[in-house]
């Protein structure tokens, strides 16, 4: 019986490892600097509008459900594991926005360049959609105009070390709002008014600052929604379903530039 149990555990472990590996496309030797990532396409011939999906501080596993949701809407999906190369996880997530920020920016920039060259990707319809921490870096991609538009769902707009009464006394300004000091691609921020991780009072300061930059920056507040409002089952009347619909409409409204 012990031998049977041991064999069963080995089989199950291998199955889990195979499933996890299937979520990633390992880079080829010529692309050895690329992060582990998923690169998925809808059925049929390309080229496809493509979404760079950026995960939360919880890591790549937090974005897997959304990969399928965007595929179902007709988008190709490129989802990098941008925390893993720098030893980041939920416990040290704030390092992503401070001492590791420029490292992540460089790595994501390289990844977007790689994705844009794929034969089934339409580079004129390349977008970034980020969740929580991923929203922070979606703003980077939009403001470097590496994508045609960006979206943040319950994005990180403020974090410890930034919570103060005046907006401009964290260095010259604060990231990610500082990204918008230049001409950016259109951007849409979705946020819940009951978010206790990214509290509306602090987030509103960032939004107010960005709106003064005259960029195409749009905000939609969800009344009664908290952080990670899309993790529950998405029903037709859920916050998550509405956010998907609005995101799709926004991305489809972006004209080729």
Provide the pLDDT for residue 90. Answer: 85
Q: How far is CA 130 from the centre of its chain?
A: 2
| Domain regions of the chain by residue span | 27-253
Which pLDDT score is estimated for 246?
96
In the prediction, which pLDDT does 235 show? 75
CB count in 10 Å sphere of residue 64: 14
Q: What pLDDT is attached to residue 7?
A: 39
Q: What single string gives the DSSP state of each residue in 121-188?
A: EEEEEEEEEEETHHHHHHHHHHHTTSSSEEEEES-----TT--SSSTT-SSSS-TTGGGGGS----EE
Whole-number pLDDT of residue 233: 62
> For position 237, what pLDDT does the model report?
76
Which fold does the domain 27-253 belong to in CATH? Rossmann fold (3.40.50)
Q: What is the pLDDT of residue 132?
A: 93
Please list the pLDDT of the chain residue by residue as tens digits (257 residues).
444 343 333 333 333 333 343 445 544 434 547 789 999 999 998 799 999 999 999 988 888 889 999 999 999 999 999 999 989 888 889 888 888 999 999 999 999 999 999 999 999 999 999 999 999 999 999 999 999 999 999 999 986 555 444 444 433 358 899 999 999 999 999 999 999 889 898 899 899 999 999 999 999 999 999 899 887 667 777 898 999 999 999 999 998 65
Cα first-last separation, the chain: 66
How many Cα neighbours within 13 Å face the side chain of 38?
A: 26
Rounded Cα–Cα distance for residues 226 and 40 (Å): 29
The confidence score (pLDDT) of residue 175 equals: 87
């Amino acid at each position: 019986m012990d031998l049977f149990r041991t064999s069963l555990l080995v089989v199950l472990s291998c199955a889990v490892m195979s499933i996890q590996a299937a979520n990633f496309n390992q880079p080829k030797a010529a692309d050895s600097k690329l992060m582990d990532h998923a690169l998925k396409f809808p059925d049929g011939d390309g080229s496809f509008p493509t979404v760079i999906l950026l995960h939360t501080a919880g890591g790549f596993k937090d974005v897997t459900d959304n990969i399928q949701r965007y595929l179902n809407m007709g988008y190709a999906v490129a989802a990098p594991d941008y925390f893993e190369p720098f030893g980041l996880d939920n416990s040290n997530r704030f390092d992503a926005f401070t001492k590791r920020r420029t490292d992540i920016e460089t790595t994501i920039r390289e990844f977007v360049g790689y994705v844009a060259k794929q034969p089934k990707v339409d580079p004129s319809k390349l977008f970034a959609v980020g969740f929580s921490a991923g929203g922070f870096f979606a703003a980077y991609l939009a403001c470097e105009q590496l994508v045609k538009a960006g979206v943040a769902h319950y994005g990180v707009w403020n974090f410890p070390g930034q919570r103060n009464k005046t907006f401009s006394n964290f260095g010259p300004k604060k990231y990610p709002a500082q990204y918008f000091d230049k001409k950016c691609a259109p951007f849409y921020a979705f946020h819940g008014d009951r978010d206790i991780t990214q509290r509306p009072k602090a987030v509103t300061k960032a939004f107010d600052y960005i709106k003064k930059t005259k960029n195409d920056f749009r905000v939609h507040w969800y009344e009664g929604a908290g952080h990670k409002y899309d993790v529950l089952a998405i029903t037709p009347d859920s916050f998550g379903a509405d956010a998907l619909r609005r995101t799709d409409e926004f991305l489809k409204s972006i004209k080729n530039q």
